[in-house]
Amino acid sequence: MSGGSARSLGKGSAPPGPVPEGLIRVYSMRFCPYAQRTRLVLTAKGIRHEVININLKNKPEWFFKKNPSGLVPVLETSQGQLICESAITCEYLDEAYPEKKLLPGDPYEKACQKMVFESFSKVPPLISGIVRTQNKEDCSGLKEELRKEITKLEEVLTAKKTTFFGGNSLSMIDYLIWPWFERLEALELNECVDHTPALKLWMAAMKKDPTVSSLLTDVKTFQGFFNLYLQNSPEACDYGL
């Protein structure tokens, strides 16, 4: 595993060479929550990989050949196959690397994880909306909605009576939703988990996981990144390097 902290590549940079045999490459950005899902899965499954960080405020022209939408994460194999969309990359990795399965084998249990993921899917756009909203009044409406969505997730945990969303061990669904919960403190949204004790316990348990803690970013670094990112600074993605 190399390059997790490497400077991002921007406009005018040379396209990277082919992916060496025995490795898989992820195009990422150090603070992107979607790409963090993919990196969590790569790390949890012990998959040998290299990371190329993309300057999302100054994208290299060659990157649009990897993903026409210009978004990270993107996986590239040594055969040049490209896989986009964070949830699709995570499922691909779990199937292509069968050791340490993160998704359950049982079709119903797998479907349950996907239903939780679907339920969670309103959270990222709400958090984005809150981050971009200057007006405190508009914010309170969005925060109300966010609390509602978070309450649904609390109900999943309390109904299951397990520590994690897939049972008593950490599994795919936990990694898929973690990055947004990791950012709550940096975004001053901790109040949204005030009334959700099972979620608080889950967050504490997640932070103890070796994979999660190896990819944790501290609050101050996040905040430094966010400030620059909201100003569209081309320095944002390399904050702290």
**Contact with its own copies (CB under 8 A) among 61, 111, 190, 197:** 111
User: Residue 46 or 240: which CB sits closer to its own copies?
Assistant: 46
Residue from 6, 84, 131, 184 that binds its own copies (CB under 8 A)? 84
Residues 18/78, Cβ–Cβ less than 8 Å: yes
Q: Does 151 help bind its own copies (rule: CB under 8 A)? A: no
Nearest to 216 by CA among 189, 181, 187, 190: 181
Q: Look at residues 105, 98, 8 and name the one whose alpha carbon lies nearest to residue 51.
A: 8
Beta strands 82-84 and 74-76, pairing class: antiparallel
Residue 118, interface with its own copies (CB under 8 A)? Answer: yes
Alpha helices in the chain (DSSP H): 33-44, 63-66, 86-96, 107-120, 123-132, 136-160, 172-182, 197-208, 210-214, 219-230
Which residues participate in catalysis according to the annotation?
Answer: 32
| Residue with Cβ nearer its own copies (88 or 230) | 88
For its own copies, the binding residue among 77, 151, 162, 223 (CB under 8 A) is 77
Choice from 110, 122, 147, 200 touching its own copies (CB under 8 A): 110
Number of shown-chain residues binding its own copies (CB under 8 A): 18
56: contact with its own copies by CB under 8 A: no
| C-alpha closest to that of 226 among 26, 53, 33, 52 | 33
What number of residues does the chain have?
241
In this chain, which stretch among 54-62, 79-87, 141-149, 213-221 interacts with its own copies, using CB under 8 A? Answer: 79-87
**Site for its own copies, rule CB under 8 A:** 77, 81, 83-85, 88-89, 91-92, 95-96, 107-108, 110-111, 114-115, 118
